[in-house]
Amino acid sequence: MTMTTTRSETELPHWESIPDDLPAAIRAVKTAIRGQIAASGRSVQEVFAVVEARVRARVEEIASDRAAGREVWPVIDYADIAAGCVTPTQLHHLRRRGCLVVRGHFPHEQARAWDAGIMEYVEGNHFFERYAGPADDFFGSVGSKPEIYPVYWSPAQMQARQSDRMATVQAFLNARWSHSSDGVQWFDPERDSLYPDRIRRRPPGVDSGGLGAHCDPGNLDLWMTRAYQQAFRHLFDGTVEAYDPWDAAHRTAGPQYPGTTMCSAFRTFQGWTALSDMDHDQGVLHTVPVPEAMAYLLLRPLLPDVPDDEMCGVTTNSTFPVNERWHPLLMQALSGIPDVRAGDSVWWHCDMVHSVAPVTDQQGWGNVMYIPAAPWCPRNETYAASVRDAFHSGSSPSDFPAEDYECSWPDRFAEADLNAVGRSGLGLPPDTLT
């Protein structure tokens, strides 16, 4: 349904749900953004050149780090985060790159025990016999073992989500963002909302095609909803120098267009915790470690070589594609994680371009629990209500296909096992008995 509200002089046309006529909406919003930039006295080409120069400087730094044998990804020890002694140099590197490996986030043996616990949980509940194939893939081969397990409520996952160690790292990462401005606290950096996600267990010997470069915060809604237009206001009004990828203003309440790829939560960082050791050349995560690349992605379709009713291939109900055709500068910076060990965790700014490399005859397991940093904010509080329902019934959270394998599994994590972090993250009142 199209819901364009009245335009004021300073407001772009916006659609709070998916427009009925996408090409017309794309034309309208591009015309309006170009007009707003022109009203600032600059052309789209001028502001794009500013963004391109800023991104190019980052890309060149990354290339020179790589050439010198320096690690592109920042790496920080959990012990330093917990002790509050991360150095200003490390913080600067994290801000520049927008991604991080936390070494020793959990003890190696703890992560290996969680991995074994997940296997006991799924095998004990006959998951592999019952698995009906990928819910989002019509041709999924029934009976084959999945790599992504649609399992959300194992004791291992919940223990990790509600652990003090997880809360410590999430608070550290949230604090990289500006969370208060204009008299508004956009999110609470000290409280996470326990966004439940799945696990991946990729066995040795597999061939995998990987996952192409993309970003996750939205697709056409990034240009078309009022909240995102406000969040990215500096990109759309000619004041691009003021754009700050670490500013949470207007990002934590607005709607997102529905679709199979949507994430209802606001995440400061996406992340996963390694449950096996993984070498850097075994089909691992890559990012374009340039947080401000979002400025490039959002302004690129406004250049005149892109047809007026297109957004460089971005459309609804689909991830935001990033590629050589439209974004060759960004693709130069694609950088993989270093070797990680079970118990390390890996994080990347929610706007960042990422991909998973292909692998042939993978050596060793590739096992992770997806646990992001999703701080308490209006958007995450709303989603937490449906998470609570899913937790109580054992069903799949509403952002994911309704596969609901765990509803009848007796040993899933129980409410009685929640600690104070877990109760707070689910929006439950404190347990007065403990």
Nearer to Fe ion, 192 or 216 (CB): 216
- Sequence-distant (≥ 6) Cβ neighbours of residue 126 within 8 angstroms: none
Q: Give backbone dihedrals phi and psi of 37, rounded to 5 degrees, phi first.
A: -65, -40
- Minimal distance, residue 186 CB to Fe ion, in Å: 23
Nearer to Fe ion, 188 or 216 (CB): 216
Nearer to Fe ion, 16 or 216 (CB): 216
Specify the pairing of strand 211-215 against strand 180-181.
unpaired
- Minimal distance, residue 215 CB to Fe ion, in Å: 7
Nearer to Fe ion, 301 or 321 (CB): 321
CA dihedral 58, 61, 62, 64 (to 10 degrees): 160
CB 152 within 8 A of CB 198: yes
- Minimal distance, residue 4 CB to Fe ion, in Å: 30
Q: Which residues bind Fe ion (CB under 5 A)?
A: 216
Nearer to Fe ion, 103 or 354 (CB): 354
Interaxial angle between packed helices 22-39 and 44-67, expressed in degrees from 0 to 180 and rounded to the nearest 10? 90
- Minimal distance, residue 381 CB to Fe ion, in Å: 24
- Minimal distance, residue 355 CB to Fe ion, in Å: 8
Nearer to Fe ion, 321 or 425 (CB): 321
Q: Residue 228 corresponds to which tokens in the numbers above?
A: 């995102």
Q: DSSP for 86-147?
A: --HHHHHHHHHH-EEEEETSS-HHHHHHHHHHHHHHHHHTTHHHH----TT-TT--TTSPPS
- Minimal distance, residue 413 CB to Fe ion, in Å: 26
> Which residue number has the CB closest to Fe ion?
216
- Minimal distance, residue 314 CB to Fe ion, in Å: 14
Nearer to Fe ion, 159 or 270 (CB): 270
Q: DSSP for 378-403?
A: HHHHHHHHHHHHHHHHTPPPTTS---
